[in-house]
């Protein structure tokens, strides 16, 4: 287990209890990166779901005196739809006939004391990217895991990372038997672009620094 003393204890408790797919060691790495990058520019997270990673990133952003923008349409990604592997019936709203994780993340951020730091943008990645034109301290890509979705996130957001800022990508699986290959595909593209330096990974979290 990583040392977690450096994270706000209330936020850590909320992050641990929150639904989601993020290992604590990865979460703490994101926390530390966000704290370091917050002075460079705003932090953006693509794919927030119920807010587990938003709390790690948000607590780090708050400690660094910055702002986090949590981008998600809150309708679930392709793997979270009814009948799919990661579907959670608690998040399905029968009245709308759709997934809705927005009400959950609002509570998560409130409980974690992050309502003034982590701002919710209920939007597709593409629409949000049209709005955000300032150089960013960090971009964390953890949205849709289809090749199309990951490629879109990479193309729309990687170029917005400020010099010295961080591009982090979740769910890298070098062995195809262990997981989908879309995230690692865009990670390799980022390296091939020669715009980024590769930093050590934490489990499935890839970390690149913009030159």
Put residue 205 in one of left, alpha, beta given phi > 0 → left and psi -120 to 50 → alpha: beta
Enter the tokens of residue 150.
């990951």
163 flagged as catalytic: no
Q: Which residue has the tokens 């199309």?
A: 148
Q: Which stretch binds Mg ion (CB under 5 A): 1-9, 23-31, 92-100, 168-176?
A: 168-176
Instruction: Say whether residue 32 binds Mg ion (CB under 5 A).
Output: no
Determine the Cα–Cα distance for residues 182 and 13; give it in Å rounded to an integer: 31
Closer of 2 and 135 to Mg ion (Cβ): 2
Instruction: Say whether residue 171 binds Mg ion (CB under 5 A).
Output: yes
Choose among 40, 25, 29, 22: nearest CA to 210: 40
Q: Is the dihedral of CA 83, 87, 93, 98 positive or negative?
A: negative
CB 54 to Mg ion: min, Å: 12
Q: Which stretch binds Mg ion (CB under 5 A): 17-25, 69-77, 119-127, 150-158?
A: 17-25
Enter the tokens of residue 85.
């592997």
Instruction: Say whether residue 170 binds Mg ion (CB under 5 A).
Output: yes
Instruction: Say whether residue 145 binds Mg ion (CB under 5 A).
Output: no
CB 171 to Mg ion: min, Å: 4
Q: Where does this chain bind Mg ion (CB under 5 A)? A: 21, 142, 170-171
């Amino acid at each position: 287990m990583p040392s977690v003393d450096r994270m706000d204890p209330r936020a850590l408790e909320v992050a641990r209890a929150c639904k989601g797919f993020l290992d604590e060691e990865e979460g703490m790495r994101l926390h530390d990166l966000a704290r370091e990058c917050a002075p460079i520019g705003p932090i953006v997270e693509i794919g927030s779901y119920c807010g587990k990673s938003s709390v790690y990133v948000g607590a780090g952003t708050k400690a660094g005196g910055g702002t986090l923008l949590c981008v998600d349409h809150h309708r679930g990604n392709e793997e979270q739809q009814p009948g799919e592997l990661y579907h959670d019936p608690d998040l399905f709203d029968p009245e709308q006939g759709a997934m809705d994780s927005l009400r959950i993340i609002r509570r998560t951020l409130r409980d974690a004391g992050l309502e003034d730091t982590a701002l919710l943008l209920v939007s597709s990645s593409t629409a949000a990217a049209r709005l955000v034109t300032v150089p960013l301290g960090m971009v964390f890509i953890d949205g849709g895991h289809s090749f199309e979705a990951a490629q879109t996130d990479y193309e729309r957001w990687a170029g917005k990372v400020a010099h010295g800022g961080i591009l982090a990508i979740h769910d890298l699986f070098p062995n195809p038997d262990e997981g989908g290959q879309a995230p690692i595909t865009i990670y390799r593209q980022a390296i091939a672009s020669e715009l980024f330096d590769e930093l050590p990974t934490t489990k499935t979290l890839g970390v690149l620094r913009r030159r």
